[in-house]
Amino acid sequence: MGEIARIPPGGRQELGLINWVISRIAARAVRAPHMHLFEVLGQHKMLFWTFLPYGDVLLNHGTLPKMDKELVILRVGHLRNSEYELQQHRRLARSRGVDDALQAKIFAGPDADGLTGRQRAMLQAVDEFTFDRDLSDATYAALSAHLSREQIIEFCALAGHYDTIAGILATLRVPMDFPD
């Protein structure tokens, strides 16, 4: 991003002890010096406390395989030019089975060579959901061939959540967590 943060990441005083500790633990978990997103959102205490469990369910639990979750998140990050999301999730995706070759295909889009039918359907759905806030009947049918009803609901929530995060990151000019 490189721009001056509109709401600078907070420290212990701005976050309060509990939110500051959560931010420090989150940074350590991803081996980053800071988790700036948490250091910004944590300044709105009630919002932060609702954001954390919802985000945790979407990222770490639910019915979608973690590899699928990362496909969705990386595609949203790419479509929204969210360097912060990409910096965080390129690393995490590798640990969840999404290697650099597959990441390149995700960034190339649903027409990239070497994708499975499931991956194509999911990427097409991310593109339509992100830009149109809807899925065409053909894309919904293709996605339905690979995902259960519960997974489709989760897919929409995941894509929408990370699109929202991308907007927050961009609007508030949240600084990157890693120096690279």
- Residue for token pair 């973690």: 66
Q: What is the domain class of 66-170 according to CATH?
A: mainly alpha
| Interatomic CA distance for residues 57 and 75, integer angstroms | 19
pLDDT by 10s per residue, the chain, length 180: 458 999 999 999 999 999 999 999 999 998 899 999 999 999 999 999 999 999 999 999 999 999 999 999 999 999 999 999 999 999 999 999 999 999 999 999 999 999 999 999 999 999 999 999 999 999 999 999 999 999 999 999 999 999 999 999 999 999 999 876
The reported pTM is: 0.94
What are the extents of the domains in the chain?
A: 12-51, 66-170
What is the C-alpha to C-alpha distance for residues 40 and 86, in angstroms, rounded to an integer? 18
Which among 37, 77, 70 has a CA at the least distance from the CA of 162?
77
| Cβ neighbours of 66 (radius 10 Å) | 17
For residues 48 and 41, give the distance between their C-alpha atoms in angstroms, rounded to a whole number: 6
Q: Which residues contact residue 128 at a Cβ distance below 8 angstroms, ignoring those fewer than 6 apart?
A: 134, 135, 136, 139
pLDDT of 99 reads 97
- At residue 2, the pLDDT reads 58
